Copies of this chain bind each other. A is one copy, B any other.
Amino acid sequence: MIQDIPIHHRTIGVNFNQSGDATTTVWAPAANQVEITFEGKKLELQKQKSGYWQLQTTELNPGTNYKFVLDGKTELPDPASLFQPEGVHGPSQTIAITQFAWTDHSWKNLSLRDYILYELHTGTFTPEGTFAAIEQKLDYLKELGVNAIEVMPVAQFPGNHNWGYDGVFTFAVQNSYGGAKGLQHLINTCHQKGIAVVLDVVYNHLGPEGNYLGAYGPYFTNKYHTPWGNAINFDDASCEGVRRYFIENALMWFRDFHVDALRLDAVHAIKDASPTHILQEIKMHVDRLMKETGRTHYLIVELDLNDTRYIKSQEEQGYGMDAQWIDEFHHALRVTATQEKTGYYSDFTGIEHLAKAYQDAYVYDGQYSLHRKKDFGMKVESNRGQQFVVFAQNHDQVGNRMLGERISHLVSFEMQKLLAGAVLVSPYLPMLFMGEEWAETHPFLYFVSHSDQELIDAVRKGRKEEFAAFHAQGEAPDPMAEETFLHSKLQWELMNTEPHFTLWMYYKELIELRKQLPALYELNRKHVKAIPNSKMQTLFLH
């Protein structure tokens, strides 16, 4: 279903018009009264249709802390808050989000097939851990040759240390990173330097601490179970308010932040049996936005299903996503390099599967998977190479190891070069993980900074159980410890020492080569012939 959603501005949360008047809108379908409280005042919102409440007032100014009061009881932050200056449990703060002085008018998004992606985590990419500090590294990234940074999720999460997948305010940019203005400034600077920005967003669950959405309405449903509990309600009763929340979120990043592409986290966990899947509906609205603005935006999904329904065009009854991650390429590559055999690696043979990934994108396209205990996947037919993102490592593949070892901790220097080559000559979109290019020696560990003790205990227990599947030995670093976070930061000074500098030069040259050779930048999967030789452990690509 295509909802009647304006594309020029947000309709939920607090928004200012040209003359500075504020419109406050919140979805609270079960409430009998909704008030907004700020600066000691309390104003009542008026009931609208479909469970929305609204107030237009001249009394609210940008930079004001506020909360909502439902039925005269608890004060709660705004589900569509743009800023949480005191964190997830504190008040929301109004922002005049459209007032940023953009200077990227001449920026034009790159062609997707030209993307050379670089995944980074704002908190650990630099010593400062802020958007402003990333800006200082953009010249470095340009020199390396990458042209698209992929920023791990920035939606407000509890505390200061988190990968980002525990965000609970989908519209608010993490306060400790620099908030909305910091992100706008970073993107503006990226565009001036010719770098695209991909933002990682999480539409499959909310984090376990500071999630106040359930108090406002049926944002969750027990129809489906996900690894994080009840699924987000995209198809059960009252789902329209929830669908609008996420559609408007996607539109906001593109429109008000000039984001070039979204990377949607684990979309297989977005459960939706509606005639129009929420991803398809997001795509339709993004198409409207692009038509209106003339700008180009991409939707890239993380998908664990090997199902082209997601990346087929809408004309082909697909969801119309532009590209998807293929973890299987990584797994096949990883097993080839390290002969790992535990957990999900048990499904991969190494070089034969790598050859299949080069040719067919999906390794499992119908065969029985021992790890999944079922036949898995379908054949990729018409989809082009630029619809698949590949990597030799990413935040998950590194950080979900008990000791957070990067690939450089596990294989020889020469093998690292081979892996870099394997990714950068592939007929797919290559992605590096921050620090990979100089073989960073710090790990990238799993860290959180929750304040709820029960939750902290549960997280520690959960990590332990996860590692049991990989038969990991020893103790996992404490996710709550400050030193776990600090120990995950990049060490920029390493780059100027050997052998790090040599590897860095190698990456730089490979990227340069990829940009120059048509055989490499023309992402035609069908022109690739991959011939594996298991005995010699070699693979010919031509």
List chain A positions with a Cβ less than 8 A from chain B: 1, 3, 50, 222-225, 235-240, 268, 273, 275-276, 305-309, 316-317, 366, 368, 372-375, 377-378
CB of A222, distance to nearest CB on chain B (Å): 6
Q: Is there an interface contact between B306 and A275, defined as CB atoms closer than 8 Å?
A: yes
Q: Is there an interface contact between A240 and B275, defined as CB atoms closer than 8 Å?
A: no
- Our pick among B275, B316, B366, B375 for the contact of A378 (Cβ within 8 Å) is B275
CB of A221, distance to nearest CB on chain B (Å): 9
Q: Is there an interface contact between A276 and B378, defined as CB atoms closer than 8 Å?
A: yes
Number of copies: 2
A1, A235, A317, most chain B CB atoms within 10 A? A1
Report Cα–Cα, A226/B378, bound state, in Å: 27
Q: Can you show 9 pairs from A to B with CB atoms below 8 A apart?
A: A50-B368, A223-B225, A224-B224, A235-B374, A237-B373, A238-B373, A238-B374, A239-B374, A240-B374
Q: Within 8 Å CB of A374, what residues of B?
A: 235-240
Report Cα–Cα, A531/B224, bound state, in Å: 42
Q: Within 8 Å CB of A268, what residues of B?
A: 273
Q: Is there an interface contact between A275 and B377, defined as CB atoms closer than 8 Å?
A: yes
- Our pick among B224, B238, B316 for the contact of A223 (Cβ within 8 Å) is B224
Q: Within 8 Å CB of A366, what residues of B?
A: 1
Report Cα–Cα, A225/B237, bound state, in Å: 15
Report Cα–Cα, A255/B328, bound state, in Å: 41
A305, A374, A377, most chain B CB atoms within 10 A? A374
Q: Within 8 Å CB of A224, what residues of B?
A: 223-225
CB of A246, distance to nearest CB on chain B (Å): 15
Q: Within 8 Å CB of A223, what residues of B?
A: 224-225
CB of A273, distance to nearest CB on chain B (Å): 7
Q: Within 8 Å CB of A275, what residues of B?
A: 305-309, 377-378
Q: Is there an interface contact between A372 and B273, defined as CB atoms closer than 8 Å?
A: no
- Which 6 pairs of residues, A with B, have the shortest CB-CB distance? A237-B373, A275-B378, A317-B317, A1-B375, A238-B373, A275-B307
CB of A320, distance to nearest CB on chain B (Å): 14
CB of A55, distance to nearest CB on chain B (Å): 24
Report Cα–Cα, A305/B377, bound state, in Å: 26
Report Cα–Cα, A307/B274, bound state, in Å: 8
Q: Within 8 Å CB of A375, what residues of B?
A: 1, 3, 240
Report Cα–Cα, A222/B235, bound state, in Å: 18
- Our pick among B3, B306, B317 for the contact of A316 (Cβ within 8 Å) is B317
Report Cα–Cα, A378/B317, bound state, in Å: 14
Chain B residue nearest to A268 (CB atoms) is: B273
Report Cα–Cα, A224/B269, bound state, in Å: 12
